[in-house]
Amino acid sequence: MSDSPDSDSPDSPDSKVDVDTLARELAELSPRRILRRAFELFDLEDIAISFSGAEDVLLIELACDVLGDRKPRVFSLDTGRLHPQTYQFMAKVERHYGLRIEYCFPEAAPVEALVRTKGLFSFYEDGHQECCGIRKVAPLRRQLSGLRAWITGQRRDQSPRTRGAVPVFERDLAFAGRDEGSLYKFNPLVSMGSDELWDTIRAFEVPYNALHERGMVSIGCEPCTRAVLPGEHERAGRWWWEAATKKECGLHVPDVADMPDMPDGPDA
């Protein structure tokens, strides 16, 4: 990884990196090699892993393996409404990997205004977008404004309707990076299926959230997460009272609220 000003980084003035070309190159690589390439392209202070407190812990495992004695930057959105088990798991991850997670919190005033106006559970009545916008999207925007690239645990099989075409590498058009410059996104796990991901977690004895043992596959805030039933898709446990096209909070699909409603199906 070069520290020189003319480093071959996508944000470097002399950069010759083409997003489409790099996306095609990375699409042929394993998650570990994608992470290695990401850390070659961006210095450690410029790139960070987004950690949800769920199975994307595999990103931290692989990144620590790639970096050796160095530690990746890891951040997480603390909405104030996560499960106790998730907070306990995050503390375990910090101890296990010897790092500190950069917790991102919502601003108090918008949260206070929402709760005072609509109560603690307004999302059951008018949808989760407003609450997620305050508790998740706004803190994420602040965090990303200090980065040049971020790494997510998105997988195409999580929701074929909204994530089925997610590339392994992309320019993030929803958020701005440092100095309002270009922001890039790596999705190293995008091609992994759920079975392969969990086989890898178990094979490497990676710590995982205890809620997974309770049938919670996709884990978010406590009021908005439930266990899935046999045969249900993992995203069925998130915002289960809403339509199948509303299974995003705006972190990766900012315009999902404008998608047409579709009947619930196996990829809800």
Residue owning tokens 């489409």: 20
Domain span at 141: 19-214
Query: What is the C-alpha to C-alpha distance for residues 97 and 195, in angstroms, rounded to an integer?
Result: 24
Instruction: Look at residue 229 and tell me if it is in a domain.
Output: no
Q: Tens digits of per-residue pLDDT, 156-200?
A: 887 656 555 789 999 999 999 999 999 999 999 999 998 999 999
Q: Look at residue 248 and tell me if it is in a domain.
A: no
Does the pLDDT at position 131 exceed 60?
A: yes
Q: What is the pLDDT of residues 240-260, one digit of tens each?
A: 888 766 655 557 554 333 333
Judged by DSSP in three states, 82 sits in strand
204-238 confidence digits (pLDDT tens): 999 999 999 999 988 999 999 999 888 777 778 88
Three-state SS for 75? strand
% of the chain with per-residue pLDDT over 90: 71
Look at residue 9 and tell me if it is in a domain.
Answer: no
pLDDT tens-digit series, residues 12-62: 533 545 899 999 999 999 999 999 999 999 999 999 999 999 999 999 999
**pLDDT at 230 (0 to 100):** 80
Per-residue model confidence (pLDDT) at position 165: 77
Q: Which residues belong to the annotated binding site for [4Fe-4S] cluster? A: 131-132, 221, 224
The active-site residue, picked from 34, 166, 197, 249, is: 249
Evaluate whether residue 119 is within a structural domain: yes
CATH, residue 130: 3.40.50.620
105-113 long-range CB contacts below 8 Å, 24 or more apart?
105/78, 105/80, 105/139, 106/79, 106/80, 106/134, 106/135, 106/136, 106/138, 106/139, 107/134, 107/138, 107/139, 110/134, 110/138, 111/80, 111/135
In this prediction, residue 241 carries a pLDDT of: 82
The answer as to whether 254 is a domain residue is no
Residue 228 is assigned to a structural domain of this protein:
no
- In this prediction, residue 16 carries a pLDDT of 44
pLDDT computed for residue 5 by the predictor: 37
249 given a catalytic annotation: yes
Q: Indicate whether 99 belongs to any domain.
A: yes
Tell me the whole-structure pTM to 2 decimals. Answer: 0.84
Residue range 126-140: mean pLDDT, rounded:
94
In total, how many domains does the chain have? 1
Cα–Cα distance for residue pair 236/159, rounded to 1 Å: 10
Give the residue ranges of the annotated binding site.
Answer: 131-132, 221, 224
Q: Which amino acid is at 230?
A: P
The Cα 234–Cα 65 span in angstroms is: 28
For 119-237, where are the alpha helices, taking DSSP H only? Answer: 123-126, 129-132, 138-144, 160-163, 194-203
pLDDT (0 to 100) of residue 7: 44
How big is the CA angle at 12 (ends 152 and 20), to the nearest 5 degrees?
Answer: 55
Report yes or no on 237 lying in a domain. no
Q: What's the CA gap between 12 and 21, in Å, rounded?
A: 17
